[in-house]
C-alpha cells in the first residue's frame, strides 16, 4: 500500500473513533479502490488469506455502525458495501442517493449526483431511511455490447 493512501485510511479510521489495525486498513483499501460497491464474498476472495471471516465480518459491521461504509443489496440479495459520504456519522447515515444495479454484471453503483426527493409522510409516520434502487445496464456493459454489435 502506498504511504499517502495509508495516511488517508488512517485518518478515516481515527476520524470515526476506530483504532488503526491491519484488517481495517486492508478492508478500507479494497472498498476504496473500486468504483462499484464491494460484496462480502468479493472481500473474502481478495483478502481471505489475510483476514478470517469473523474478523472481516466484525470490521464491516464496525465500519457500517461508524458511518464509514453503507450497505446495499445486489440483485441476488448479497450485501455489498460502498464508502459513505463525509456527512455520515455513527448511527447516522446520509447516503440519500440512487443505487444502480446492473442486470448484466450485477455491479452496484452509488449514483451520488442523483439525490432523493424529500418525502412528506402522513402524520404519525417517521421515515428512518429511504432507498431507491434502479436496475438496468451499466455504462461498462453498454460499451461492451455496443462493441460486439458493431
Q: Could you tell me which residues are annotated as the binding site for Zn(2+)?
A: 102, 105, 138, 141
Query: What is the nearest approach in angstroms of Zn ion to the Cβ of residue 72?
Result: 6
Instruction: Name the residue nearer to Zn ion (CB basis): 1 or 105.
Output: 105
- Which residues contribute to the annotated binding site for Fe cation? 93, 95
d(CA 51, CA 37): 20
d(CA 111, CA 109): 6
Start-to-end Cα distance in the chain: 40
d(CA 50, CA 67): 24
Instruction: Name the residue nearer to Zn ion (CB basis): 51 or 67.
Output: 67
Query: What is the nearest approach in angstroms of Zn ion to the Cβ of residue 9?
Result: 17
- Residues at the site binding Zn ion, with contacts judged by CB under 5 A: 70, 82, 84, 88, 93, 95, 102, 104-105, 110, 138, 141
d(CA 115, CA 46): 32
Amino acid at each position: 500500500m502506498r504511504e499517502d493512501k495509508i495516511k488517508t485510511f488512517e485518518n478515516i479510521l481515527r476520524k470515526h473513533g476506530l483504532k488503526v489495525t491491519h484488517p481495517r486498513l486492508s478492508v478500507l483499501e479494497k472498498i476504496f479502490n473500486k468504483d462499484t460497491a464491494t460484496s462480502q464474498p468479493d472481500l473474502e476472495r481478495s483478502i481471505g488469506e489475510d483476514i478470517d471471516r469473523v474478523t472481516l465480518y466484525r470490521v464491516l459491521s464496525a465500519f457500517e455502525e461508524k458511518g464509514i461504509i453503507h450497505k446495499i443489496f445486489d440483485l441476488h440479495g448479497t450485501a455489498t458495501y460502498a464508502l459513505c459520504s463525509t456527512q455520515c456519522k455513527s448511527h447516522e447515515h446520509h447516503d440519500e442517493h440512487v443505487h444502480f444495479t446492473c442486470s448484466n454484471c450485477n455491479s452496484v453503483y452509488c449514483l451520488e449526483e442523483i439525490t432523493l426527493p424529500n418525502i412528506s409522510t402522513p402524520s404519525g409516520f417517521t421515515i428512518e431511511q429511504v432507498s431507491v434502487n434502479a436496475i438496468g445496464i451499466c455504462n461498462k456493459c453498454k460499451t461492451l455490447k455496443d462493441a460486439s454489435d458493431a
